[in-house]
Amino acid sequence: MPFFFVRLAKACRTCVDKETSLSRKGPLRPSILLMKITSVEFAGAATQPGGAPKLPYPEIAFAGRSNVGKSSLINRLLERKIARTSSTPGRTQQLNFFVVNDKLTFVDLPGFGYAKVSKQDRQHWRYLIEDYLVNARTLRGVIIIVDVRRGPEAEEEALCNFLAHHQRPFLIVATKSDKLKRAELEQRQKALTAQLNGYEPLLFSAEKSMGKEELWQAIEELVAKRKT
């Protein structure tokens, strides 16, 4: 893999830095905005470019290949079964918007990399996602979800470069961390950090709530930033 993260750090002034990963030193800062979820409402969906609902809240988008555990991660963050989970990849076929605590919007993007979806559908989803990522006025950042056992692949690299080009902050989260034993997980974390040229992804497990507080803190830091 080329050292695209080095180039990303230089190209994107607003990219999330290592302070939002698990390399953070010292105790976590208390979450003051969203850790206590009091309300989550489905606010609409977009099936065509430009069709996103007009909402006044800052937005955080979630992206990842099909069957990476994206919906489970969102549900764990919200402690509700909001995002649809399925053993069949490719179920999310539109942009889904969820308003959290009347302060923030989560945007669930269609998964990518699912071979059984037609080429026409993949092309449509690509245009839909790219249109949103480029034009969303209140988008604060993108959570890129990878399977800790596989790490980032070509699609994730392309997405990172796309976001950097458009100066969109992003954070990489390695999910399904509960699938590995402790020693294996430590090895994978070191391998991923080396693969990403020193960028340490945030480890997460929807099953065990591992990384939940750290991810919420990173989201709050993203929300506090604005695209310049």
CATH of the domain at 143: 3.40.50.300
Strands (DSSP E) along 101-151, which ranges? 104-108, 139-147
pLDDT attached to residue 197: 82
Residue 33 lies in a domain: no
Q: What is the pLDDT of residues 203-227, one digit of tens each?
A: 999 999 999 999 999 999 999 876 5
Mean pLDDT (whole number) for 87-111: 82
Structure tokens at 177: 């961390």
Residues 110 and 119: their CA atoms lie apart, in Å, by 14
Strand-pair partners of 46: 95
* Residue type present at position 160: C
pLDDT attached to residue 35: 66
94: containing domain = 4-17+39-224
pLDDT attached to residue 24: 39
CA angle in degrees (0–180, nearest 5) for 19-193-21: 20
Strand-pair partners of 174: 146, 203
Residue 61 lies in a domain: yes
Number of domains in the chain: 1
What residues have CB less than 8 Å from 29, skipping those under 6 apart? 217
CA nearest to 113, candidates 173, 63, 74, 62: 63
| Residues 25-34 as b or e (16 or more Cβ within 10 Å = b) | eeeeeeeeeb
How far lies 124's CA from each of 58, 110, 129, 132, in Å? 25, 11, 9, 12
Tokens 């693969």, residue located: 195
Q: What is the pLDDT of residues 109-165, one digit of tens each?
A: 988 765 466 777 778 878 999 999 999 999 999 999 999 999 888 888 889 999 999
Single pTM value for the model: 0.81
Crossing angle between the packed helical segments 70-78 and 212-224, to the nearest 10 degrees: 90
Q: Could you tell me the maximum CA-CA distance found in the chain, to the nearest angstrom?
A: 49
Residue 181 lies in a domain: yes
Residue 88 lies in a domain: yes
Residue 93 lies in a domain: yes
Q: What is the mean pLDDT of the chain?
A: 80
Q: What Rg value do the Cα atoms of the chain yield, rounded? A: 16
Q: What is the pLDDT of residues 33-54, one digit of tens each?
A: 556 899 999 999 999 999 999 9
Q: What is the DSSP letter of 36?
A: S
Residue 207 lies in a domain: yes
Determine how many CB atoms are found less than 10 A away from the CB of residue 204. Answer: 27
